[in-house]
Amino acid sequence: MAKTNSKSESKPKPKSESELTWRDLNVGCIVADPGNAAAYRTGDWRSQRPTYEPSRCIKCGMCQLYCPEGCIEKDEQGNYVANLYYCKGCGICAAECWTRAISMVEEKE
Ligand code: SF4
Ligand code: SF4
């Protein structure tokens, strides 16, 4: 039986620049894997974090409605708080909170 070289069989030879066509380009600017947002730790992008003053909160839920990450949840006391694993620090919740219960502070961690 002839001896095979598994290395040369498994790896296709890379194309030269003149052999490449548009079909060899990686797909870009689209979501190729819908529903994968939960896998990304968008909290890593944050330079500011939302802080809450519960006495000013009227529990209207507007911050939760406007949060582009959908990461504002209610805690055990019924207060709205951001899940910092996903909060990217955009400040939209603070801008939409008309009682000014949310303030953005610089991220220290
Ligand atoms: S928008 Fe402000 S007042 Fe309304 S639930 Fe959120 S923190 Fe509370
Ligand atoms: S700062 Fe932006 S991402 Fe974070 S909780 Fe507020 S609206 Fe959501």
In a domain, 67, yes or no: yes
We report the CATH number of the domain holding residue 55 as: 3.30.70.20
- Give residue 74's domain range: 42-109
- Any atom of ligand 2 within 6 Å of the Cβ of 88: yes
- Any atom of ligand 2 within 6 Å of the Cβ of 43: no
In DSSP notation, 3-56 reads: PP-HHHHHSPPPPPTTT--GGGSPP-SS-SSTT-GGGS-GGGG-SEEEEE-GGG
Measured CA to CA, the distance from residue 97 to residue 109 in angstroms comes to 25
In a domain, 8, yes or no: no
In a domain, 3, yes or no: no
In a domain, 36, yes or no: no
Mutate to test the pocket of ligand 2, among 57, 64, 71, 81 (most ligand atoms within 8 A of CB): 71
What's the whole-model pTM score?
Answer: 0.72
The total domain count for the chain is 1
Identify the pLDDT of residue 13.
85
Measured CA to CA, the distance from residue 18 to residue 98 in angstroms comes to 59
Give pLDDT < 50 ranges for the chain: 1-2
CA-proximal residue: ligand 2, atom 6 (nearest) = 93
Identify the pLDDT of residue 1.
47
Of all atoms in ligand 1, which is nearest to the CA of residue 58?
3
